[in-house]
Amino acid sequence: MGDQARELLFEKKLEKEDVKGDLEIPRIAHHLLPVDEDMPVLDQNDNCWNFKSPAEKRGKRYMKRQWRNFVEKESPKTGDILRYYYDNNQKCHILAIEHLPPIGKVYSIVLQEEKQKKIHYVTPVQPDVATLVAAKENFTNHWNHNTMMNNKKISKGSAKNKGRNRPHCTYCDKPGHTRAKCFRFYGFSPKQANATSATSDVNPTPKIVKHELTIKQYQ
């Protein structure tokens, strides 16, 4: 595009802005930033706007005026921020200003919120399979250990009993004493005789009386 065509296009844009009045932030950013080849280009050497025609120079002065008017209307804090953007001429900071998020961003935020709410409701507490298996193995190992220890105790007791030479009476054929100490063979002592008689008096054995009928009684 030639220089004359560029000047005419830029002047038409400025005339439209004059009719509309004060510039808004998106329009200021649109004029300050080189969005296409028709707009001013940022010179990276001296960090300032390099305008190639008188119309573009007039446009620069106009945009500065409109920018300052906009900054003066805002609060001091916002004005300081906007002055920082304007003085540094940083395209990324100006483009970062968002009045409303795009519809795609809003949709993603809503979906994320719904997913988070669903997670809170659909989270059944399920036991871990590995934990259950480990608990079962521990129980079986403990039970096997106790069983083995009990078997060892029983085997030790039986071995001790087998190792003893228990006395056995050859007269009454009962274990626990020999024939030399058998009361059945030598007789009971006076104390044991009294004890046996007392037990017999307490629990006397009933005598069975036979009643026989005579022939006369039977007739």
Residue indicated by tokens 């932030």: 25
Mean pLDDT of the 36-44 span: 41
Task: Give pLDDT, residue 47.
Answer: 40
- The string of pLDDT tens digits covering residues 20-34 is 444 444 444 444 444
Exposed/middle/buried for 100, CB within 10 Å: 0-12, 13-18, 19+?
exposed
- The string of pLDDT tens digits covering residues 128-139 is 666 666 666 666
- Taking residue 84's Cβ as centre, other Cβ atoms within 10 Å add up to 11
SS3 (DSSP) at 50: strand
Task: Give pLDDT, residue 36.
Answer: 39
On average, the pLDDT of the chain sits at: 60
Contacts of 159 (CB under 8 A, 6+ apart): none
Question: Could you tell me the end-to-end alpha-carbon distance of the chain, in angstroms, rounded to an integer?
Answer: 161
Q: Domain limits of the chain?
A: 3-95, 169-200
- The string of pLDDT tens digits covering residues 152-200 is 666 655 555 554 677 888 888 888 888 888 877 777 766 666 666 655 5
Residue indicated by tokens 């795009």: 102
